Structure 1
Amino acid sequence: MKCFFSIILIYFIGLQCKAQTIHLYNGKDLSNWYSDVPAVDKDPNIRKSFIIRDGKLVSMGTPEGHLLTKDSYENYRLEVEYRFAGKPGNCGVLVHASTPRALYAMFPKSIEVQMMHENAGDFWCIVEDIKVDNMETRRGPKENWGITEGKERRIKNLTDNSEKPLGEWNRMVVECKGDRIKVWVNGDLVNDGYGATAQKGQIALQAEGAEVEFRKVDLTPLK
């Protein structure tokens, strides 16, 4: 009997120690988020850039802006399932976001993981920086590198053809641990960066011209 209770105790301790996944999108509303859309400053009644439709979180694409988590995070694995609802276009997940409107009076200081059709997994440096292997091949001439307006901020991903055909759901996983960021698209490792100049911050979804549906945005803390 004593052995039985010991096993039960170990089981419950294990449950408490296991990292709990946080459903950033809870399937119902945007209670974990707030939006920053510059056009709202001039017209508070302009249409919403982010809505809930048929149980999905939808970035309408315009007016352009960002949906940001209310909380900041570090050392986590982020899983996002998304698809372009109509025409292919641009969107992104921003990690380690902080200062709002730090670039082009629009983008928060962050590192973007690109979701643009046929470019999913690119890094874009937004007043933060990150390194990868073969930097000049993937970012261009070193003298053009930078993290502000007019600089070479894009770091190309490692693969082609990792995305599903238009209309199908893609699964993107972003692992942020210390100063390293790894990205998988549909199971393929598409980027692996290190030396990130930020290691924690908010998470943001973009409205950047194209309508995109999200059915999962889950975060699991890492030890």
Structure 2
Amino acid sequence: MVPTLLPVAALLLPLPPAPQGGDIPAFATKLPQIETGAPILQFNGKDLSGFYTYLKDTAYEDPEEVFTVVDGQIRISGERWGGITTEQEFENYHLIVEWRWGDETFAPRLDRSRDSGILLHCVGEDGAAGGQWMESIECQIIEGGCGDFILVGGAGKPTMSCKVRQEEDGQLYFDPVHGETVTRDSGRYNWWGRDPEWKDVLGYRGRRDVEAPAGEWNRMEVICDGGTITNIVNGYVVNVGTNSSLRKGKILLQSEGAELFCRKFEVRPLKQD
């Protein structure tokens, strides 16, 4: 198969309009140039071949069918905390996930922002993080915060650097132009456009969000290249981490209180120079 040469995004989805609250910064439109090979993992639209499930309360059993395949899509009910995890480990890859929110939410996040995430470079034991996830670097999926990085500790504490600015709220926002490099082993690096007035309420939308409204499809791409992780949401670079201490591992898609549908989950290896 002919390798794919991307400015990452032969997108199947149209780009959303520029946010009303401000222009897209120039750096967000400069997509990495990468060359990839044929997919080494693809959701087949029929079943969860290539993945396994893990839940906080029932481990490798899923008696309530939190994870199912419906109409060619993975449905994650969100009713129990856990995730679907790749059986393989990956390094130096381009991940493409197309997803949308469903209508259902569950306590304790019944009235809070819809929440999930993609855990990258998962290592160690299942459930080592909070009883349901793995030590990893999270590419966050949450209303208003898609593309944030969260450092998820397990037996160890992963570290990563990010060029950020610190706002009055004390939080760190990705800013490759005016920011300073910060290295952490816990906490969050917000994507560049996350609204400082963000509130943990159902249906939240910030003035600069590039995530599509609830119910509409999004395309999230993650490029893991050595110690660098680039998060791309609907064609815009939203966050870049460097010097990650984790560079290889499994990939996990979370169940975290909100119904989520996934129609594409694809991993392509990067062609190295």
Is TM (by shorter chain) over 0.5?
Answer: yes
Q: Name the CA distance, whole Å, in 2 between partners of 1:57 and 1:103.
A: 23
- Within 5 A, what are the aligned runs for 1:16-27? 19-27=37-45
Matched with 1:155 is 189
Q: Name the CA distance, whole Å, in 2 between partners of 1:190 and 1:18.
A: 21
Could you tell which deviates more after superposition, 46-55 or 202-211? 46-55
Could you tell which deviates more after superposition, 188-197 or 80-89? 80-89
Tell me, yes or no, if the aligned pair for 2:161 and 2:242 is still in contact at 8 Å.
yes
Tell me by how many angstroms 1:101 deviates. Answer: 1.9
- Flag structure 1 segments of 5+ consecutive residues without an equivalent: 1-11, 148-152
Tell me by how many angstroms 1:191 deviates. Answer: 0.4
Bigger Cα Rg: 1
> Could you list the per-position Cα deviations for residues 143-183 of structure 1 after superposition, in whole angstroms to 9, with x for gaps in the alignment?
xx543xxxxx1111112311111111000000000000001
Q: Name the CA distance, whole Å, in 2 between partners of 1:44 and 1:67.
A: 12
Matched with 1:69 is 86
Tell me, yes or no, if the aligned pair for 1:72 and 1:202 is still in contact at 8 Å.
yes
Task: Select the structure that is richer in strand.
Answer: 2
Matched with 2:98 is 81
> Could you list the per-position Cα deviations for residues 32-85 of structure 1 after superposition, in whole angstroms to 9, with x for gaps in the alignment?
1001112115x9563022110111001110211011000000000001100001
Amino acid at match of 1:125: L
* Partner SS state of residue 133, structure 2: coil
Q: Name the CA distance, whole Å, in 1 between partners of 2:260 and 2:216.
A: 12
Tell me, yes or no, if the aligned pair for 1:49 and 1:65 is still in contact at 8 Å.
no
Change (3 A) 1:176 1:45: closer
Amino acid at match of 1:133: K
Q: Name the CA distance, whole Å, in 2 between partners of 1:107 and 1:134.
A: 27
Tell me by how many angstroms 1:23 deviates. Answer: 4.2
Q: Name the CA distance, whole Å, in 1 between partners of 2:166 and 2:129.
A: 23
Q: 1:98 aligns with which of 94, 118, 123?
A: 123
Q: 2:259 aligns with which of 207, 211, 216?
A: 211
Percent identity between matched residues is 32
Matched with 1:35 is 53
Tell me by how many angstroms 1:24 deviates. Answer: 2.7
Matched with 2:238 is 190
* Partner SS state of residue 73, structure 1: coil
Q: Name the CA distance, whole Å, in 2 between partners of 1:60 and 1:126.
A: 22
- Flag structure 2 segments of 5+ consecutive residues without an equivalent: 4-34, 105-112, 174-183, 194-207
- Within 5 A, what are the aligned runs for 1:49-64? 49-64=66-81
Matched, 1:131 2:161: yes
Matched with 2:223 is 175
Tell me by how many angstroms 1:214 deviates. Answer: 0.3
TM-score (norm 1): 0.82
Task: Select the structure that is richer in helix.
Answer: 1
Tell me, yes or no, if the aligned pair for 1:49 and 1:64 is still in contact at 8 Å.
no
Tell me by how many angstroms 1:118 deviates. Answer: 1.2
Q: Name the CA distance, whole Å, in 2 between partners of 1:40 and 1:59.
A: 16
Q: How many residues are paired up?
A: 200
Matched with 1:150 is none
Q: Which contiguous aligned blocks of 4+ residues in structure 1 show a shift greater than 6 angstroms?
A: none
* Partner SS state of residue 145, structure 2: coil
Change (3 A) 1:201 1:27: same
Q: Name the CA distance, whole Å, in 2 between partners of 1:192 and 1:25.
A: 26
